[in-house]
């Protein structure tokens, strides 16, 4: 994987850094795995805006991703590595020996023609999915389940990975991308390897228009608002805005919002880094 810095032939291109897309092998998605994707523009079922700065953006089709990897013991071949407009990671098209095709989140180093399989007693090779009870300690993993059979929910974005630290009884200790160390049931599935497209963090949009293509609308600085619109608004002249907080008055920058009585607190060994 690599990135390309464009020549400054326009003001917008001057700082633009784009993905080299070296890992991508085709630009034609599998039609049987596409689904329509309707935009809400940040509105709820009553048509009221419940999320600001959403709307517009390029039309997309959703790629149906197999997060559960529940086709156990059936060999699959990687047919292609593809771009997915709905996520930062690349996706891989698998063709199983029985003819079925599925998309999965592509791991770093996954090659076309590579054989993958999921299930217990499987070799801990890149792209293979297996329970945490079967993965060797110290292995780099991604696409981790939180409950057995739920499907992957953690470490799914570009370049993300976790590490299996220890096992004790029915729980495994995992160090997550956030820095949090957490207990997860050993029956949960995870995929060996880090998620693809680790260069995503190096990209630079270059212009405001690209945010609009992604469906992000302009955001007004709270300091520039009136007191009626935001807790940080108002003041004579260029006032600093007071303590940083959200539109609803919840403090930012270090204020802990996690409930002290949350049931899953007992599974967190070490909190994420500040």
Q: Which residues pair with 216 in a beta bridge?
A: 54
Mind listing the pLDDT tens digit for each residue in 127-153?
999 999 999 999 999 999 999 999 999
Confidence band for 172, pLDDT divided at 50, 70 and 90: very high
Q: What is the average pLDDT score of the chain?
A: 95
Any residues with CB less than 8 A from the CB of 33 and at least 6 apart, and which?
63, 64, 93, 101, 102, 103
Structural domains of the chain in order of their starting residue, each with its CATH number: 3-201 (2.40.50.140), 225-264 (4.10.950.10)
Of the candidates 163, 191, 162, which has an alpha carbon nearest to the alpha carbon of residue 65?
191
Q: In the block, which residue shows the tokens 């792209």?
A: 127
Looking at the predicted structure, is the pLDDT value of residue 274 above 80? no
Looking at the predicted structure, is the pLDDT value of residue 176 above 80? yes
Q: How far apart are CA 58 and CA 4, in angstroms?
A: 23
Mean pLDDT calculated for residue range 110-116: 97
Q: What is the pLDDT of residue 238?
A: 87
* 131, 70 contact by CB (below 8 A): no
Of the candidates 127, 154, 190, 151, which has an alpha carbon nearest to the alpha carbon of residue 68?
151
Angle, alpha carbons 246-179-63 (nearest 5°): 75
Of the candidates 82, 113, 186, which has an alpha carbon nearest to the alpha carbon of residue 144?
186
Any residues with CB less than 8 A from the CB of 174 and at least 6 apart, and which?
132, 141, 144, 162, 163, 164, 165, 181, 182, 183, 184
Mind listing the pLDDT tens digit for each residue in 213-222?
999 999 999 9
Mind listing the pLDDT tens digit for each residue in 226-273?
999 999 999 998 888 889 999 999 999 989 999 999 999 999 999 987
Looking at the predicted structure, is the pLDDT value of residue 1 above 80? no
Phi and psi, residue 199, nearest 5°: -80, 0
Looking at the predicted structure, is the pLDDT value of residue 107 above 70? yes
Angle, alpha carbons 121-127-128 (nearest 5°): 10
| Percent over 90 (pLDDT), the chain | 95
pTM: 0.93
Mean pLDDT calculated for residue range 34-53: 96
Please report, in angstroms and rounded to a whole number, the separation of the first and last CA atoms in the chain.
30
| Percent over 70 (pLDDT), the chain | 99
Query: Is residue 201 helix, strand or coil?
Result: helix
């Amino acid at each position: 994987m690599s990135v390309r810095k464009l020549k400054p032939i326009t003001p917008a291109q001057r700082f633009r850094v784009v993905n080299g897309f070296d890992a991508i092998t085709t630009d034609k998605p599998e039609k049987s795995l596409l689904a329509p994707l309707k935009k809400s523009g940040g509105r709820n079922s009553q048509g009221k805006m419940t999320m600001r700065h959403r709307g517009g953006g390029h039309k997309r089709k959703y790629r149906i991703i197999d997060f559960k990897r529940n086709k156990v013991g059936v060999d699959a071949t990687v047919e292609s590595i593809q771009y997915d407009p709905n996520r930062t990671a690349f996706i891989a098209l698998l063709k199983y020996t029985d003819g079925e095709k599925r998309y999965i989140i592509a791991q770093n180093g996954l090659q076309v023609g590579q054989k993958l399989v999921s299930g217990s007693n499987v070799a801990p090779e890149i792209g293979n999915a297996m329970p945490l009870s079967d993965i060797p300690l110290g292995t780099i993993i991604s696409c981790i389940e939180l409950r057995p059979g739920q499907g992957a929910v953690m470490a799914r974005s570009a370049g993300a990975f976790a590490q299996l630290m220890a096992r004790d009884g029915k729980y495994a200790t995992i160090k997550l991308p956030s820095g949090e160390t957490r207990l997860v049931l050993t029956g949960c599935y995870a995929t060996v390897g880090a998620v693809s497209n680790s260069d995503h963090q190096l990209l630079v949009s270059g212009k405001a228009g690209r945010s609009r293509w992604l469906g992000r609308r302009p955001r007004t600085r709270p300091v520039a608002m009136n007191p009626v619109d935001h807790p940080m608004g108002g003041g004579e002249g260029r006032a600093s805005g007071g303590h940083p907080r959200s539109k609803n008055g919840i403090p930012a920058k270090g204020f802990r919002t996690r409930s002290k009585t949350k049931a899953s607190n007992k599974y967190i060994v070490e909190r994420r880094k500040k």
